[in-house]
Amino acid sequence: MVDKLFNGFLIIRKRLALKFFAFVFLLNLSFDGVASGVVAVPPLQSGVLYSSQPIMTMYYSGVKAKRVIVYLSGGWGRIGLKASTGAMVDPFSKMLIALTKPKLSSGKFDVVFMDSPSELHWMTQRGSADHLSRIQSVVQYYKNRTGLPVWLMGHSNGALSLSAFVHYLQEANEVNMVDGLIISAARNETSFSPPLTMPMLFLHHEEDGCINTQPKNAYATYERLIQFDKAKIKYVSIGTGEYDVDDPCVSGYHMYFGADREVISALDRYFDESPNR
């Protein structure tokens, strides 16, 4: 009888332990105290042109956060986040998550990954009413939730979302909704128009071999921009990293393989020079 009770106690204790570790895993608590979780953001707009699906985001909270970076994916724009998603595990995402961790960076950022309910196969979809409204919904949500400045970051095709969203805000006279942009490995078509006063950081690998994101075109966009945007605009050329034999638009220099430290340092340095943004 005693043995049965003891065995039953061990089973219950084991189940409780498993539940506890599962809870910790879902929160993704690191030794730095950084927590993450999937957050479904309600869309601000409704109607024929807009999807009623919530905007799925993955939120990483920094220990000493002074601003929020909302990341807009390149490629087809879809991450595939679900309520059960535990963590972002690809190398590029891990690089951005490091911005929340004091042991790997300044730790002065919250990082949000924004998903799309469907793949954005056509570049024109980056400027659709639904896509832009969803970006606005996420920006407004995290401004309200954190009380921190919100910066948008777009990589590759994601830079098209940035330029389209800025044009959208200009037309609505709401440019101040966003505190700044991080334009990473921008598509050749990325452009901005005056009048505009918005700080921006351009990041681009000097050996980016993707034909759609040539460094010379990103730098030309930067040079045009500084002619009329008098906020702090900086272009940083990334020089470290690794070549990869895979498609140059989805790997290697384009995705900053092996250049994590340089990219993180560039971001920290830019914001150290602009502590109030």
Please state the rounded mean pLDDT for residues 68-93. Answer: 91
Residues contacting 165, CB < 8 A, separation 6+: 132, 135, 136, 152, 178
Contact criterion met (CB below 8 Å) for 197 and 231: yes
Amino acid letter, residue 64? K
Question: What length does the chain have?
Answer: 277
Q: Where are the domains of the chain?
A: 1-30, 31-273
pLDDT at 64: 87
- E-state strands within 186-260: 200-205, 233-238
Torsion of CA 85, 90, 91, 92, to 10 degrees: -80
Q: Taking a C-beta distance cutoff of 8 angstroms, is the pair 79, 36 a contact?
A: no
- Topology of 31-273 in CATH? Rossmann fold (3.40.50)
d(CA 220, CA 240): 22
pLDDT digits (tens, 9 = 90+) for 87-106: 899 999 999 999 999 999 99
Interval 214-260: pLDDT, tens? 999 999 999 999 999 999 999 999 999 999 989 999 999 999 999 99
Q: Is the pLDDT of residue 112 over 60?
A: yes
**CA pseudo-torsion sign 81, 83, 89, 93:** positive
For residue 15, the model assigns a pLDDT of: 39
Contact call for residues 226 and 235 (beta carbons, < 8 A):
no
pTM of the model: 0.85
Range of lowest pLDDT (70-79, 194-203, 221-230): 70-79
